[in-house]
Amino acid sequence: MQSFERNATHELNECLAHFPAVVLTGPRQCGKTTLAQKIAESLKKPTLYLDLESATDRRKLTDPNAFLDPLSDNLVILDEVQRVPDLFPQLRGIIDRRRTPGRFLLLGSASPLLLRQSGESLAGRIAHVELTPFRISEVGAKRLSQLWLRGGFPDSLLAPSTKVSCRWREEFIRTFLERDIPQLGFRVPAEALHRLWQMLAHHHGQLLNRSQLGQSLGVTPATIGHHLDMLSQTYMVRSLPPLLPNLKKRLVKSPKVYLRDSGILHTLLGLETESDLRGHPVFGASWEGFALEQILDQYPGWTASHYRTSTGVELDLILEKGRRRIAFEFKASSSPDVTRGFHQAIADLQPEHTYIVAPVEQSYPIGNNMTIRPPWCE
């Protein structure tokens, strides 16, 4: 399988050079173990790898102090660390007895939120790094169409055929529902969560209406919220909050919901080929969600939201950092046009720059502080 340099590599190396423990989180099968092994090979120190999904490796940590204390000069990689939440308090003592950087690299398929709940005792001793599925900045612009259609999970993107890619995603969804969710401690029937996931696929990029979803699925809005939190914490769904600036306008206060991986979205909708996608009503929303993930990866540390008024004036994405504000609109056409509402939103928010992200090969200006650009950095 072809190898690509991951965007997280530099950040991970930097954190290992300064923190005793680093946790690398992300969805299952996004390449965490592969990246950890490459990092280990590049370091000039002995390495020990334990897979905590393996009963044999978990037994080695029956007495963590006795097993790990003698390995103070090693990089110890603990994969699927969320399987042993009781380990975190033990690691605190082990680290404090010899507080040197780069002792532990912890890999987890649960979100940083879940890991922080277990790892509060490691405050000040641990750094968090997130690994996503492949982004266009990692695999190159020539793979744009393939990345959009298949999504960024390595085994899906790099599969030898469309059929194999589709089959891999089908198996990923099944395993996620039937094995991963129960292992993470969530008690939700697989079929119920699958129905919600499919419904979210049909509402991809739309405003969240918990009451409507609950009525369709025969559950309460609170249950919908609980299940959405679960899908968000496991990196399957992104909830984009509304921007609520101090403007004298009636604003929509609901988040927009996206499936984070376009390939999973397409599989849940039964879309196998580019022709299937282009002929489906989700085509524009699919590009919006796909391009949004690429952009967010390019602006770490910025606060993301969407903007919509009660009269329908909207912008797909607002990024803010300090006093800076940048706006984005996503268009699936290579010759995008914009509406009057778009210009009204720009007048309302007055961002320093506005980008229209489209499947174009290079950026070009279309007005004052306004640019049409591709989803990758040029």
Q: What is the rounded CA–CA span in Å between residue 130 and residue 72? A: 25
Q: Which two tokens stand for residue 69?
A: 């204390």
| Total-model pTM | 0.94
The CA-based dihedral angle spanning residues 72, 77, 79, 83, taken in that order and rounded to the nearest 10 degrees: 10
Q: Where are the domains of the chain?
A: 8-130, 136-373
For residue 219, what pLDDT is reported?
93
For residue 114, what pLDDT is reported?
59
For residue 109, what pLDDT is reported?
82
For residue 117, what pLDDT is reported?
57
Class of domain 8-130: alpha beta
* Ordered per-residue pLDDT tens for the chain, 378 residues: 568 999 999 999 999 999 999 999 999 999 999 999 999 999 889 999 999 999 999 999 999 999 999 999 999 999 998 888 888 889 999 999 999 999 999 998 876 555 665 567 788 888 989 999 999 999 999 999 999 999 999 999 999 999 999 999 999 999 999 998 888 878 889 999 999 999 999 999 999 999 999 999 999 999 999 999 999 989 999 999 999 876 667 788 899 999 999 999 999 999 999 999 999 999 999 999 999 999 999 999 999 999 999 888 999 999 999 999 999 999 999 999 888 889 999 999 999 999 999 999 999 999 899 999 999 987
CATH 1.10.10.10 fits 136-373, yes or no: yes
Q: What is the rounded CA–CA span in Å between residue 243 and residue 225? A: 20
For residue 115, what pLDDT is reported?
66
Q: Return the closest-CA partner of residue 264 out of 155, 136, 139, 191.
A: 155
For residue 177, what pLDDT is reported?
95
